[in-house]
């Protein structure tokens, strides 16, 4: 048989194809190495990032724990300080209460000594006179109440609203411990031994806390006494001198208070003054 002849150019094409396959096979290890390196770098980066994140979380956690502990310590210290201050206030309050008791006892003893020094008012029970020094919102102590100050604009409003913001003191002696200053007229002095009382007499009241004057009055020319109100200074004054000529009764007319004869001025004196010197006129019966 005769050999078949290879077409021209076919042999060159085959050689080129074989060389290209051999070159492709020789590049595969480099690609594999490159892919392996990329994988290792990626894993290393992931591990580094995870480690840094974990460290940051732990740092923040520790910082938060320290902040909470500091706040707890501050809260405990503040609570302890407040407790100590409260205990100190309680002890101070108890101490003030004890001092108040001692001061009250000393005040009562001083009032008793003053009663002994100035004597007992005439026509008066000694026990009643001693009890007058220990007033607490009763008997002859009187106070001006600023809250009721404006109610006195009515001429017929009772004098029971009169008061004073000063310290407590009962009616004191204006002369010789009698609790009054008598300025009787000659007619009154002449009639002292008879049944008819004097036409004019004076008395002195020192007003104190929470005790009203205890008079209901009316009128523009002098203050006409309509009624003696219970629990007031005038009622205690009348008890101090029962049946005495200086006892204030309904129908009497107050003609002067602290040198003022005008009705409004007398009301103003009762509202603003602690010491009231009253001149009372009595109609003969």
Q: How far apart are CA 83 and CA 91, in angstroms?
A: 12
Q: Check whether residue 194 and residue 102 sit in a common domain.
A: no
Q: 110, 139, 165 — which closes off a domain?
A: 110
- Does a structural domain hold residue 117? no
The pLDDT score that the predictor gives to residue 54 is 93
What does the CA dihedral 27, 33, 39, 41 come to, rounded to 10 degrees? -130
Q: 77, 110, 143 — which closes off a domain?
A: 110
Average pLDDT over residues 223-232: 84
Average pLDDT over residues 38-49: 92
State how many domains the chain has: 2
Q: What is the SS3 string spanning 37-69?
A: HHHHHHHHHHHHHHHHHHHHHHHHHHHHHHHHH
Q: How far apart are CA 88 and CA 95, in angstroms?
A: 10
Q: Check whether residue 164 and residue 232 sit in a common domain.
A: yes
Q: Check whether residue 71 and residue 184 sit in a common domain.
A: no
- Does a structural domain hold residue 16? no
Average pLDDT over residues 63-85: 94
DSSP class of residue 278 equals E
DSSP class of residue 135 equals -
Q: 110, 134, 167 — which closes off a domain?
A: 110
- Does a structural domain hold residue 4? no
Write the pLDDT tens digit of every residue in 100-151.
Answer: 999 999 998 888 888 777 755 444 444 444 444 444 334 433 443 444 444 4
Q: Check whether residue 131 and residue 269 sit in a common domain.
A: yes
Q: What is the model's pTM?
A: 0.33
> What residues make up the domain containing 56?
45-110
Q: Check whether residue 106 and residue 169 sit in a common domain.
A: no
Q: How far apart are CA 170 and CA 174, in angstroms?
A: 12
- Does a structural domain hold residue 65? yes
Integer angstrom CA distances of residue 27 from 21, 31, 163, 246:
10, 7, 119, 141
Q: Check whether residue 270 and residue 178 sit in a common domain.
A: yes
Q: Check whether residue 248 and residue 277 sit in a common domain.
A: yes
Q: Check whether residue 61 and residue 92 sit in a common domain.
A: yes
Contact 200, 281 (CB under 8 A): yes
Q: Check whether residue 203 and residue 264 sit in a common domain.
A: yes
Q: Check whether residue 274 and residue 139 sit in a common domain.
A: yes
The pLDDT score that the predictor gives to residue 112 is 83
The pLDDT score that the predictor gives to residue 5 is 61
Q: Check whether residue 106 and residue 140 sit in a common domain.
A: no
- Does a structural domain hold residue 39? no
- Does a structural domain hold residue 182? yes
Please identify which residue in the block is written with the tokens 């706040």.
71
Average pLDDT over residues 234-241: 80
Q: Which CATH number fits the domain that encloses residue 246?
A: 2.30.42.10
Q: Check whether residue 98 and residue 218 sit in a common domain.
A: no
Contact 281, 252 (CB under 8 A): yes
- Does a structural domain hold residue 178? yes
- Does a structural domain hold residue 3? no
């Amino acid at each position: 048989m005769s050999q078949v002849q290879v077409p021209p150019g076919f042999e060159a094409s085959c050689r080129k194809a074989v060389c290209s396959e051999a070159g492709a096979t020789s590049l595969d290890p480099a690609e594999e190495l490159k892919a392996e390196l990329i994988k290792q770098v990626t894993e290393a980066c992931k591990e580094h990032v995870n480690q840094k994140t974990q460290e940051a979380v732990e740092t923040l956690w520790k910082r938060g724990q320290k902040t909470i502990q500091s706040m707890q310590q501050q809260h405990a210290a503040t609570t302890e300080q407040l407790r100590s201050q409260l205990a100190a206030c309680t002890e101070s309050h108890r101490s003030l209460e004890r001092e108040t008791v001692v001061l009250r006892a000393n005040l009562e003893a001083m009032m008793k000594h003053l009663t002994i020094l100035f004597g007992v008012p005439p026509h008066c029970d000694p026990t009643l006179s001693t009890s007058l020094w220990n007033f607490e919102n009763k008997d002859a102590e009187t106070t001006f109440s600023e809250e009721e100050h404006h109610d006195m604009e009515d001429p017929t409003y009772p004098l029971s609203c009169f008061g004073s913001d000063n310290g407590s003191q009962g009616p004191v002696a204006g002369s010789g411990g009698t609790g009054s200053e008598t300025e009787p007229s000659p007619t009154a002095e002449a009639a002292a031994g008879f049944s008819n009382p004097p036409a004019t007499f004076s008395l002195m009241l020192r007003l104190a806390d929470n005790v009203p004057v205890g008079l209901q009055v009316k009128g523009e020319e002098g203050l006409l006494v309509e009624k003696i109100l219970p629990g007031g200074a005038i009622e205690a004054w009348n008890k101090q001198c029962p049946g005495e000529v200086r006892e204030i009764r309904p129908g009497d007319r107050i003609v002067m208070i602290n040198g003022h004869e005008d009705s409004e001025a007398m009301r103003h004196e009762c509202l603003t003054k602690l010491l009231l010197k009253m001149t009372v006129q009595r109609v003969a019966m």
